[in-house]
A and B are shown apart, each in its own frame.
Chain A
């Protein structure tokens, strides 16, 4: 789905076209739910987060700006933020470090099941980039991004100094950016 299609469907949402909402959910529902589940330990709560994300898009379609990325990225960002808000308020919904890291390893190795249509190539690129950063960097980045941990919590959970946690996050992101840039340049 390219940006002009994203804009077209968002325009229909602005016109209160319910079919457009249904189409958006059919296209991205599995992905949005998966993102919520990556963050929240409880599948029922993850489903609620996914519903909230779609309702937010329905109520404020104008908050999507095609300049800043695809509708898919936008929805995933909204979902992730909603899920993290939830785990920060409900400690019981926080995933364990082991669960987060295992899922990240599976993602970086492309072992996930039920692969669907949306952006497979882009996802493959990202997986390759993720697998290019070191295990300790990936662990820190995943705890922060999908686990909603602050760098202090990352440090405490991994039993490392706070400075080391900050360095791993920085180096992990820098390496990831570099890997993504190199791949983009090659294509």
Chain B
């Protein structure tokens, strides 16, 4: 059933709180990406929602919690060693991207849309992707949106050996936003890692795991000077440099 703009707008606050059904979650998400007004409204609520968590007062740490976690963490020791990359040093923070004031507004809107997709997928909100009715039409729409984002000014489009997966890396004021559609889940104990090739040097932009084929991340590394973006399969936690199969590249 197609909802009107006003009906969808009335669902923005419940959506940001994760208080909608899986079907409505999908409807609102699709709508927000194409509606600047609703996107701004959702964006406005997100800080209020995340601040709600801070109303919780700490309690005493239960006996045994720390040791239980340490034991489980040590049991992970056999897994591939994770590495350094996605967290920037402070020195990276000073390399703030110049605000691209000349970039047309649609570019910024696209980046904002991508940010929202990432926010939703990264678990900032409750996602119910597993319960979504992933019809062919819906998947086609998702794909089309990533394709549109990839075509905006300043964006880089990523493709792979299979036509199924496409990605887009969009510049933002403080780095970039990456979104992808059509990726299968990574092999067990593995993850996808995004690389920025800056003067030929691969710099990790972080790792992500897709949900229903859709995924993304934000990086605070400036895209200025980045001439290629690639996605590889790496051991869980990521690698300091690319080691695995390259699944997408610009």
Q: Which A residues are closer than 8 A to B by beta carbons?
A: 4, 7, 10-11, 14-16, 18, 21-22, 25-26, 29-31, 33-35, 37-38, 43, 47, 50-51, 54-55, 58-69, 72-73, 76-78, 80-81, 84-85, 104, 107-108, 112-116, 118-119, 122-123, 126-127, 129-130, 141, 144-146, 148-152, 154, 163, 165-167, 169-170, 172-174, 176-177, 180
Shortest distance between the CB of A117 and any CB in chain B (Å): 8
Structural contact, A151 and B218, CB atoms closer than 8 A? no
A interface footprint on B198-212 (CB within 8 Å = 1, 0 otherwise): 000000101111000
Q: Of B10, B93, B175, which one neighbours A166 at CB under 8 angstroms? A: B10
Shortest distance between the CB of B206 and any CB in chain A (Å): 5
Task: Tell me the count of chain B residues lying within 8 A, CB to CB, of chain A.
Answer: 69
25 A-B contact pairs sorted by A residue (CB < 8 Å): A10-B87, A14-B83, A14-B237, A21-B70, A29-B65, A30-B59, A31-B56, A33-B61, A33-B62, A37-B59, A47-B65, A55-B72, A61-B82, A61-B87, A63-B123, A63-B207, A65-B86, A65-B217, A76-B53, A77-B50, A81-B126, A104-B55, A107-B57, A119-B54, A144-B14
Determine the distance from Cα of A107 to Cα of B122 in the docked complex, in whole angstroms: 28
Chain B residues, Cβ within 8 Å of A25: 61, 65-66, 69
Residues 57 to 76 of chain B near chain A (Cβ within 8 Å)? 57-62, 65-66, 68-70, 72-74, 76
Structural contact, B55 and A177, CB atoms closer than 8 A? no
Q: Which of B19, B21, B89 has the most CB of A within 10 A?
A: B19
Q: Of A69, A144, A174, which one neighbours B19 at CB under 8 angstroms? A: A144
Structural contact, A73 and B48, CB atoms closer than 8 A? no
Q: Of B12, B65, B93, B207, which one neighbours A50 at CB under 8 angstroms? A: B65
Judged by a CB distance under 8 angstroms, whether B81 is at the interface is yes
Q: A21-B70, A107-B57, A123-B55 are in contact. Are A7 and B65 (CB under 8 A)?
A: no
Q: Which of A10, A73, A115 has the most CB of B within 10 A?
A: A73
Chain A residues, Cβ within 8 Å of B65: 25, 29, 33, 47, 50-51
A interface footprint on B230-250 (CB within 8 Å = 1, 0 otherwise): 000000111000000000000
Q: Which B residues are closer than 8 A to A by beta carbons?
A: 10-14, 16-21, 44-45, 47-62, 65-66, 68-70, 72-74, 76, 81-90, 93, 119, 122-124, 126, 174-175, 191, 204, 206-209, 217-220, 236-238
Structural contact, A66 and B87, CB atoms closer than 8 A? yes
